[in-house]
Structure 1
């Protein structure tokens, strides 16, 4: 079992090649895997100017607005035209789709979760009150507003706004307790896809 706490402010930023923003990687599994080899990945992106999203074939993506007015996402094939302007509202799309992002009003910050389609799937939940998170072998918690207590089988963690943890290994069930009714937390659950489903 691996449990790794983190603070967003302490994550090293990596500038985008096109100069349109930067990414702070939270976790990449397997560790050290490149863009064409990861199983799942979670990061915080700051979008500073209009531009195209990177293409990730065979990857499913979920993005969640954390701070700022957001962006308008439009695909070059015309099938996607989505305003990502409501904070803490997950939006899912395929990584191979060509997406252009247009800032609505200044820079914004998003949580991005990517899973390789043939091996993993993700569920991104918004938690605003006390609840138990179903057991999962891998996942991530990010406190967005307020303070949270995350109680595990043998360890408890205090999460403040802008901090969180990710885990990998033994199935884990978290009890999540907010400090007040204004608190908000993002819970990302990562599950393995059964590769034998659908095979004769």
Structure 2
């Protein structure tokens, strides 16, 4: 298990220059925005505008803070995402504009290169215990509130807001929190094309 603290994540500009994003992890390490196989990041969205286009990438968006965002796709479809919404997957090369719902938001973005990697995102809530095991690929846990503990073979780790843990195949952990409404995201990543 590898811990990535919030203070160790790097802040960088959006691909389209419209804001900033906090990169949590990417593969291969140090890959540019045009060359990653997978990437996990958080963005602060303070104004309406177009999403950056990532050709050949699939993305899942989750609202972390704020009142939500409406996605207006180029083909006319609209989707409204709020804090209570399930993580929403869509192709990152599909033209889309974001329209804020009464103020700025922070969101979690998970992106994988189509045909090479796939992903699944789930929002989990406390207090637990929640038992998780990694059978193949990777599992990242991204804490959205303080007070999470992870019990693993190597001992106990604590996660605060914005902290993350990456688990490798064969690892198993038990999550628990001291808050009933504590929130953490479980992000599964695995190699291979869709069946």
Q: Same fold per TM (> 0.5)? A: yes
Moved more, 157-166 or 35-44: 157-166
Is residue 73 of structure 2 the alignment partner of residue 92 of structure 1?
no
Is residue 17 of structure 2 the alignment partner of residue 30 of structure 1?
no
Q: Counterpart in 1 of 2:75?
A: 77
Task: Determine the C-alpha separation between the residues in 2 that align with 1:63 and 1:75.
Answer: 14
Which residues of 2 match residues 181-200 of structure 1 at below 5 A? Answer: 181-193=180-192
Is residue 121 of structure 2 the alignment partner of residue 124 of structure 1?
yes
Q: Counterpart in 2 of 1:48?
A: 46
Task: Determine the C-alpha separation between the residues in 2 that align with 1:114 and 1:105.
Answer: 26
| Match 1:105 to one of 102, 124, 129 | 102
How far did residue 45 of structure 1 move? 0.5
How far did residue 150 of structure 1 move? 1.1
CA contact (8 A) 1:88 1:126 kept: no
CA contact (8 A) 2:15 2:52 kept: no
Moved more, 133-142 or 25-34: 133-142
Task: Determine the C-alpha separation between the residues in 2 that align with 1:42 and 1:88.
Answer: 19
- For structure 1, the residue ranges without an aligned partner over 5 or more in a row are none
TM, length-normalised to structure 2: 0.88
What is the CA deviation profile of residues 59-112 of structure 1, one whole-angstrom value per residue up to 9, with x for unaligned ones? Answer: 11001100111211011111x311112346201101110010011112110000
Is residue 1 of structure 2 the alignment partner of residue 5 of structure 1?
no
The structure in which a higher percent of residues are strand is 1
TM, length-normalised to structure 1: 0.86
SS at match of 1:139: strand
Moved more, 174-183 or 55-64: 174-183
- For structure 2, the residue ranges without an aligned partner over 5 or more in a row are none
SS at match of 2:61: strand
SS at match of 1:145: coil
Task: Determine the C-alpha separation between the residues in 2 that align with 1:183 and 1:96.
Answer: 33
How far did residue 19 of structure 1 move? 5.0
Task: Determine the C-alpha separation between the residues in 1 that align with 2:34 and 2:153.
Answer: 34
Task: Determine the C-alpha separation between the residues in 2 that align with 1:39 and 1:171.
Answer: 22
| Match 1:57 to one of 55, 58, 62 | 55
